[in-house]
């Protein structure tokens, strides 16, 4: 992963000035600048919170003002803007390097949730989602929730900026799409990057490959499928020889691979420095018997995707298009599955529209069916959701909330930045969030907004 030179809040706090003049002062720094390698970044001011942000790969990082034209990042490293003899900003200096201003005229990321409601968030009025020809029926929020005002207030708080960088909120309940709201310039036609929320759908694509007979069963041994690609796999022992496809689907691999542990040899950041991410994963040493305990490992999902390609003889993108996306009527998406260094900036991830995420989740909720067509076998769906409390099942996660002594269970596809697709079987409900709070816990020690919005607003709206 690229070193981010701009992981920084730039907040000018001059109490003697009016809010508008502070914002106007920030506009002086806006532009598209050189960045590491051949890349560029944008510097954009936000009127909502009077803050300057560096925008890198669609993620924004605030900058903190310390002196005239000088700022520091969250690592407390200085970032200093430089001017020419006419007092115009021409570059910035960071980490001992100078990065030139590329251009002032650039397409800026939308920095406020709702421009038309920036100064009047209480003016938000709920509207029933628009009925489209995509197979999703729509309905009214008040017909499905006993206390819909909780959800309406959640939207208003998002417009106020109290849940920053939430890009969409969709609620599908009792077979009706009852809430569909977009923010920060996103809309129903914008495919959104999923990050790790891609992984559960890779599990479903593998299930289709098994349903069609390309693989006999997920109980099969894993390593033989890679014999022809990798003449030698490292750290082979009796435990590694036992590895099954199912061990990778449930993250019960027994390898030294744990995303949340920087010391783990299979940590995602270390894997991404290697040339071949699947080979790197298969080479990891074993630390436990496979099948005993789960450990979240990105390499497992990427290996499952590569397995689909080896078993079917097709690129996974083509196989998924023919057997998953086309039957669901999904065409507005992007996906390049290339689990190697070529994917350092796109992470082999899917980008889908939020409405299409609802359709995929509905297919899972309905036992693998869409419009009476069996897309994924019901038996695969049942095995996917047959997981222990708080554990993983075929790349999905069991997630629950406790509210007032009552437990609300869901199956979750989750991705960095606040991508949350929850299926709530007991509530006959699906919730979808997309967002841009990338690396929020690592950078700021905070979880993403949906983890607060779901229990405090959506679940409390259920009478």
pLDDT of residue 120: 97
pLDDT recorded at residue 12: 39
**Predicted local confidence at residue 19, as pLDDT:** 45
Confidence of residue 312 (pLDDT cuts 50, 70, 90): very high
Please name the helix (run of DSSP H) or strand (run of DSSP E) that holds residue 370, with its range, or none. strand 369-370
Instruction: Look at 37 and 15; give whichever has higher pLDDT.
Output: 37
What is the band of 446 on the pLDDT scale with cuts at 50, 70, 90? confident
Evaluate if residue 11 carries a pLDDT over 90.
no
Nearest to 234 by CA among 223, 248, 222: 223
What distances in angstroms separate CA 402 from CA 25, 46, 428, 444, 454, one per listed residue?
46, 36, 18, 25, 11
Q: What is the mean pLDDT of residues 351-379?
A: 98
pLDDT of residue 440: 76
Percent of the chain with pLDDT over 70: 95
pLDDT at 344: 87
> pLDDT band for position 212 (50/70/90)?
very high
At 431, which helix (H) or strand (E)? strand 429-435
Angle between helices 199-211 and 354-365 (to 10 degrees): 50
For residues 47 and 109, what is the distance between their CA atoms, to the nearest angstrom? 12
Spatial distance between the Cα atoms of 298 and 252, rounded to a whole number of angstroms? 12
* Nearest to 214, CA basis, from 293, 142, 107, 311: 311
To the nearest 10°, report the CA torsion of 56, 62, 66, 70: 20
3-state helix, strand, coil in the chain (%, to 5): 30, 25, 45
pLDDT of residue 2 exceeding 50, the answer is no
Task: Judge contact between 50 and 11, C-beta under 8 A.
Answer: yes
Which of 2-11, 60-69, 96-105, 395-404 has the lowest average pLDDT?
Answer: 2-11
Q: Supply the pLDDT for residue 4.
A: 47
Whether residue 6 has pLDDT greater than 90: no
Question: For residue 206, which of 131, 136, 108, 311 has the smallest C-alpha distance?
Answer: 311
pLDDT digits (tens, 9 = 90+) for 246-255: 999 999 999 9
Contacts 24+ apart (CB under 8 A), 94-102: 94/5, 94/6, 95/3, 95/5, 97/5, 99/33, 99/34, 99/35, 100/33, 100/34, 101/31, 101/32, 101/33, 102/31, 102/32, 102/33, 102/34, 102/40
| Sequence-distant (≥ 6) Cβ neighbours of residue 428 within 8 angstroms | 173, 174, 175
Within 10 angstroms of residue 216's Cβ, the number of other Cβ atoms is: 10
Domains and CATH numbers, the chain: 10-103 (2.40.128.50), 115-190+353-461 (no CATH), 196-324 (3.40.710.10)
The pair phi, psi for residue 10, each rounded to 5°, is -115, 90
**Sorting pLDDT into bands at 50, 70 and 90, what band is 72?**
confident
What value does the mean pLDDT take over residues 402-417?
Answer: 95
Best CA proximity match to 40, nearest among 95, 86, 107: 107
What mean pLDDT is reported for the chain? 93
Confidence grade of residue 15 (pLDDT, cut at 50, 70, 90): very low
**104-134 pLDDT per residue, tens:** 999 999 999 999 999 999 999 999 999 999 9
């Amino acid at each position: 992963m690229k070193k981010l030179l701009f992981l920084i809040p730039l907040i000018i706090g001059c109490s003697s000035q009016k809010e508008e003049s502070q914002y106007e002062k920030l506009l002086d720094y806006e532009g598209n600048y050189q960045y590491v390698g051949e890349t560029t970044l944008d510097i954009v001011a936000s009127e909502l919170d009077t803050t300057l942000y560096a925008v890198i790969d669609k993620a924004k990082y605030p900058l903190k003002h310390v002196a005239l034209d000088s700022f520091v990042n969250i690592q407390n490293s200085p970032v200093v803007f430089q001017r020419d003899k006419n007092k115009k900003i021409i570059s910035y200096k960071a980490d001992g390097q100078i990065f030139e201003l590329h251009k002032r005229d650039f397409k800026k990321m939308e920095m406020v949730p709702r421009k038309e409601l920036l100064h009047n968030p209480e003016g938000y009025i709920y509207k029933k989602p628009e009925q489209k020809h995509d197979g999703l029926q729509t309905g009214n929020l008040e017909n499905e929730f006993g206390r819909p005002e909780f959800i309406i207030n959640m939207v208003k708080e998002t417009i106020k900026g109290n849940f920053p960088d939430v890009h969409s909120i969709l609620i599908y309940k009792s077979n009706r799409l009852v809430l569909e709201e977009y923010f920060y310039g996103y809309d129903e036609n914008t495919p959104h990057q999923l990050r790790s929320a891609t992984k559960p759908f890779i599990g479903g694509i593998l299930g289709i490959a098994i349903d069609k007979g390309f693989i006999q069963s997920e109980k099969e041994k894993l390593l033989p499928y890679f014999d022809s690609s990798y003449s030698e796999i490292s750290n082979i022992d009796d435990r590694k020889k036992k590895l099954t496809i199912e061990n990778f689907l449930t993250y019960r691999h027994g390898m030294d691979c744990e995303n949340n542990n920087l010391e783990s040899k299979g940590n995602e950041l270390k894997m991404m420095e290697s040339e071949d991410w699947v080979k790197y994963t298969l080479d990891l040493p074993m630390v436990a018997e496979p099948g005993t305990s789960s450990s979240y490992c990105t390499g497992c999902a990427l290996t499952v995707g590569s397995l689909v390609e080896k078993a079917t003889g097709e690129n996974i993108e083509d196989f998924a298009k023919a057997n998953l996306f086309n039957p669901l009527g999904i065409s507005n998406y992007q996906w390049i599955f290339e689990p190697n260094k070529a994917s350092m900036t796109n992470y082999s991830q899917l980008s889908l529209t939020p409405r299409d995420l609802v359709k995929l989740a509905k297919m899972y909720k309905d036992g693998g069916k869409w419009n009476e067509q069996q897309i994924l076998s019901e038996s695969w769906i049942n095995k996917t959701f047959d997981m222990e409390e708080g554990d993983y099942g075929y790349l999905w996660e069991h997630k629950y909330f406790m509210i007032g002594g009552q437990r609300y269970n869901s199956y979750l596809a989750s991705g960095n930045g606040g991508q949350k697709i929850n299926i709530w079987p007991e509530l006959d409900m699906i919730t979808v969030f997309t967002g841009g709070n990338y690396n929020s816990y690592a950078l700021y020690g905070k979880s993403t907004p949906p983890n607060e919005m779901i229990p405090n607003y959506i679940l409390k709206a259920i009478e």
